Structure 1
Amino acid sequence: MSQAYNYCNDFVKRFSYERYLSTLYAPITARPSLIALYAFACEIARIRELVNEPMPGEIRLQWWHDALSGTDHGDVMHNPVAQAIIETIEHHKLPREPFLNLISARRFDLYSDPMPTVNDLEGYCGETSSALVLLASMILSGKPADRQISDACGHGGVAYAMSGLMQTLAWQASRQQQFIPKEVLERHDVDPSALKGNRSDDGVWAVFEEMVELSRKHLDDCEEALEGIDKSVLPAFLPVFQVELFFNEADKDSFEPLQVCGGAPHIRRMWHMWRTSRRLARLSRK
């Protein structure tokens, strides 16, 4: 691994442990490219946390857009994540459009606009999460995704992103963000301010349960699409099924949606991913 890929490896291990774990199930030749992809995703996702107002975030996103579009800033190759992802794109001849769409979708993170509808949320999750599963599949298979893989990636990415959002409701509210669709809040007569509390009332619980059920539905559709799939792409889906650990926690009587869910211990994630790898392997043989 070059110095840039070593940096990316440590970066992903710190900020997206389940994705880091999944690369250990991939062929050793594909791991640096997967790590670069996931480091890029982490870098873009963290921009909202690194800025105090939208304009600096817009500037950072534009820098990344220009860098991946081929606009020469002169300092692109001094950024280890940029260096690694550009080399990965060129090596695997990956389409640049999904990367640029992801960057554009992340502009929503910088503002306090409410997510209007479920369809809008699914579109956001598709561009920020499903696209990564798809690109990882292309890296692993060495070819464009067919319809079956695309469907599995679409549903899997939405399930992954949506469940992640459900784990951080109060944190989002504290940052004046509203990823729960406005139409869902209105359907259950919930004011957005209710998400800033410490305890969920009946309305918040109804909203939470509806959104978790939608995430489960996407995960079920992803699993169904994986039957008979090319086994080479399976490592791309291993992070997706880590959401089952969150579903298990959400089913407990003691669970509180407005408390940030810290996630399962590392050893439990490792065990679950190993079991998932075997389950998906059996699916691919059907």
Structure 2
Amino acid sequence: MSKAVAAGDGLAAMVERGDPDRWRTVMTAPEAARPGLFALYAFNLEIARASWVASEPLLAAMRLQWWADAVEEIYAGRPARRHEVVEPLAATIASADLPRRLLDEMIEARRLDAEPPLIDVMTYVDHTAGHLMELAARHLGAEGGALPVVRDFGRATGTAALLRALPELRARGRTPLPDDIAPAAFARDGLAAHARARTHRDRVPASALPALLPGWLTARTLRLAASGDTALEPAPIVARAGLLWRASTGRWWS
């Protein structure tokens, strides 16, 4: 497991406000590992919201370039920018020896958010949810043969999340899925990735469980969507009960 990374309560509060589901999963991790997870999830929030807070694509691109430059500086060994997310992110990268490619591709994928539909939606899912889950798992000690399993589960989780978000995205004038990809077919692709991860679940160390728990609704969502169902959001109490069950049993793949 990587060394503890200093991060203030403000970072945890940022994740709690912007990504409450992942905040809950971080709280299942050992206390020493939580700051690094909060740093990764806060970074994801910052780049994910670029196209939503900017009034035009050029401004979104400028925000993302700022983050690309910040990451480049970290890996060049320059002092981290004085920013509430950049500084703990730099410490997390150093402590877990996280590969730069994953962060660079996450930023690049977010450039597509301002110009839907996505031409290669599976690559987008892989470079957003897949990369984020791999970074979190690496932070928690996953390596070697565990990483392809984590990536498959990350792809499945990202597919499920995008399907659950479709109604809101469409209401905001965004249509991320190309016209030739039906939601049910997209869900079946996610189920295939989920099946691969489940088959090789024994390769993932128990220490990485909190990194995979953000996918606690994945199997349910994908099965419903593959059947043509559009009511994908469970009642909050049901969703939280599912998270508690997976956290207590370690069955992240169910």
Moved over 4 A (4+): 1-4, 71-75, 247-253
Contact kept? 2:7, 2:35, Cα under 8 Å:
no
Q: How many residues align?
A: 248
The Cα of 1:274 is off from its aligned counterpart by 2.1
Match of 2:86 in 1: 82
Letter in 2 for 1:154: R
Which of 187, 197, 201 is the equivalent residue of 1:212? 187
Aligned to 2:209: 234
Q: 1:277 aligns with which of 238, 247, 254?
A: 247
Name the structure 2 match of 1:44: 47
Q: 1:263 to 1:66 in 2, by over 3 A?
A: farther
Question: Do residues 146 (structure 1) and 121 (structure 2) align?
Answer: no
Please, what is the CA RMSD of the aligned residues?
3.0
Q: Contact 1:226 / 1:280 at 8 angstroms: preserved in 2? A: no
Paired residue type of 1:155: D
Q: Which residue of 1 aligns with 2:68?
A: 65
Residues 70-120 of structure 1, C-alpha deviations (whole Å, 9 max, x = no match): 07999921x2112221221122222222111100111000224x323xxx2
Q: Is the 8 A contact 1:18 1:269 kept in 2?
A: no
- The within-5 A match list for 1:79-118 is 79-112=83-116, 114-116=117-119
Q: Does structure 1 retain, via aligned residues, the 8 Å contact 2:80–2:90?
A: no
Structure 1 residues 101, 24: CA separation in 2 closer, same or farther (over 3 Å shift)?
Answer: same
Q: Work out whether residues 33 and 140 of structure 2, in 8 Å CA contact, stay in contact via their aligned partners in 1.
A: yes
Structure 1 or 2, whichever has the larger Rg, is 1
Q: Letter of the aligned partner of 1:129 in structure 2?
A: A
| Separation in structure 2 between the aligned mates of residue 86 and residue 135 of structure 1, nearest angstrom | 13
Matched, 1:164 2:141: no
Question: Structure 1 residues 38 and 110 mapped into 2: Cα distance closer, same or farther (>3 Å)?
Answer: same
Structure 1: gaps of 5 or more residues: 185-206
1:256, distance to aligned residue in structure 2 (A): 4.0
Aligned residues of 1:131 and 1:153 also touching (Cα < 8 A): no
TM-score (norm 2): 0.85
Matched residue of 2:29: which SS? coil
Report the CA distance between 1:41 and its aligned residue: 0.7
Question: Do structure 1's residue 246 and structure 2's residue 221 form an aligned pair?
Answer: yes
**Are the counterparts in 2 of residues 231 and 281 from structure 1 also a CA contact under 8 Å?**
no
Q: TM-score, normalised by structure 1?
A: 0.76
Percent identity at matched positions?
25
Q: Tell me the CA shift for residue 236 of structure 1.
A: 1.0
- CA distance in 1 between partners of 2:136 and 2:52 (Å): 25
1:183–1:105 distance in 2 versus 1, CA, 3 Å: same
The letter for the 1-side match of 2:127 is E
- The one-letter code matched in structure 2 to 1:209 is A
Tell me if the contact between 2:51 and 2:113 (Cα under 8 Å) persists in the aligned partners.
yes
Q: Which amino acid aligns with 1:15?
A: G
1:21-41: CA deviation from partner (whole Å, max 9, x where unpaired): 111221111111011111111
Q: Which amino acid aligns with 1:132?
A: L
Question: Which residue does 1:191 correspond to in 2?
Answer: none
Deviates more, 1:171-180 or 1:218-227: 171-180
In structure 2, list runs of 5 or more residues that go unmatched: none
- What's 1:203 paired with? none
Amino acid at match of 2:103: F
